Amino acid sequence: MIDSTKYGPWAVIAGGSEGVGSAFAHRLADAGINLVLIARKPGPLEETAEQVRAKGVEVRTLQLDLVAENPLKAVREVTDDVEVGLLVFNAGANSYGHEFVTGDLDRFQDVIDLNITAQLALTHHFGALMKERRRGGILLVGSMAGYMGQAQISIYSAVKSFGRVFAEGLWLEMREYDVDVLELILGVTRTPAMERAGLNMDMPGLNVADPDDVAREGLEHLSDGPIWVAGGNYEAVQKRAGFPRSVLVAKAHAAMKRMLPPAS
């Protein structure tokens, strides 16, 4: 059970409406931690909020696209009057799969703004408050994509690599103030976003994680930063971080192509 005295009484979950984000919400509510749920889609957001309210915690919702101008202003309007002991940044599904040189630069910028700019803004704000109180936790949801460049999602892979290195440095800075920092590395996870993308998650031998298992691992290992690889993917991440890069990148690309839906 997560320690509500260290990570409560409130938690903010960016990307808290479905999939892994919803699983985080349920597990934190079970621990008696009140929640601020942030998401773009009002339907799943309110559905998850209603479910976790039934567990007896207070829940605030904020329908917000984190690539909007100054998202922190909107977040502060619903959090400045409460004490946030845990930030979960799970809002990183925007990958905009397209070849870089023929893609839309504005769409690529959205990937950067969501996965880097918004993440830094929320982490900077809540991290400073946690440092002052000398307790709390910051859980940033990362991806195995951040260990290797990939065709069609080169920008997404790059921003996830940024997130991993950022988490490592932040972990060093915050540990002396008793603030835990963890980047939770996800592989293929059976979420609504993955299903909407049309990925073939039923390939023989493919390791597909369950959202609730991933959320459980992240919360159980929040104090084991700076990195925790979820879903039994530790060896796969080790291989992705190895050499020679040309061989590894080409091999991973071939495997990924078998997962993608047929081109229309």
Return d(Cα 86, Cα 2) in angstroms, integer. Answer: 11
- Dihedral pair phi/psi, residue 94, rounded to 5°: -75, 105
Chain-centre distance of CA 197, in angstroms?
A: 17
DSSP of 163-190: HHHHHHHHHHHHGGGTEEEEEEEE-SB-
Q: Do β-strands 227-229 and 10-14 pair in parallel, antiparallel, or remain unpaired?
A: unpaired
Residue ranges, the chain, pLDDT below 50: 264
Question: In a 3-state reduction of DSSP, which class is residue 49?
Answer: helix
| Whole-angstrom distance, CA of residue 228 vs CA of residue 146 | 13
Residues 154-166 as b or e (16 or more Cβ within 10 Å = b): bbbbbbbbbbbeb
The pLDDT score that the predictor gives to residue 203 is 65
Question: Would you give the DSSP letter of residue 153?
Answer: -
What's the order of all strands across the beta sheet hosting 136-143?
59-63, 34-39, 10-14, 84-89, 136-143, 179-186, 227-229
Phi (first) and psi of residue 20, to 5 degrees: -65, -40
Which pLDDT score is estimated for 257?
Answer: 80
Confidence at residue 256, expressed as pLDDT on a 0 to 100 scale: 78
**Pick from 47, 139, 44, 41: nearest CA to 90:** 139
Name the DSSP letter for residue 114. I
Q: Among candidates 147, 155, 216, which has minimal Cα distance to 187? A: 147
Specify the pLDDT at position 198: 57
Beta bridge partners of 189: 209
pLDDT tens digits, 73-97: 999 999 999 999 999 999 977 788 8
Per residue in 159-209, pLDDT tens?
999 999 999 999 999 999 999 999 999 998 876 665 555 566 566 667 788
pLDDT value for 196: 57
How many C-beta atoms lie closer than 10 Å to residue 37's C-beta?
28
What superfamily would CATH give domain 4-259? Answer: NAD(P)-binding Rossmann-like Domain (3.40.50.720)
What pLDDT shows up at residue 209? 87
Alpha carbons 53 and 33: distance in angstroms, whole number: 11
**Interatomic CA distance for residues 262 and 174, integer angstroms:** 45
Report the C-alpha gap between 126 and 85 in whole angstroms: 8
What is the C-alpha to C-alpha distance for residues 200 and 209, in angstroms, rounded to an integer?
14
E-only strand ranges, 70-171? 84-89, 136-143
pLDDT at position 261: 67
Tokens found for residue 18: 């479905």
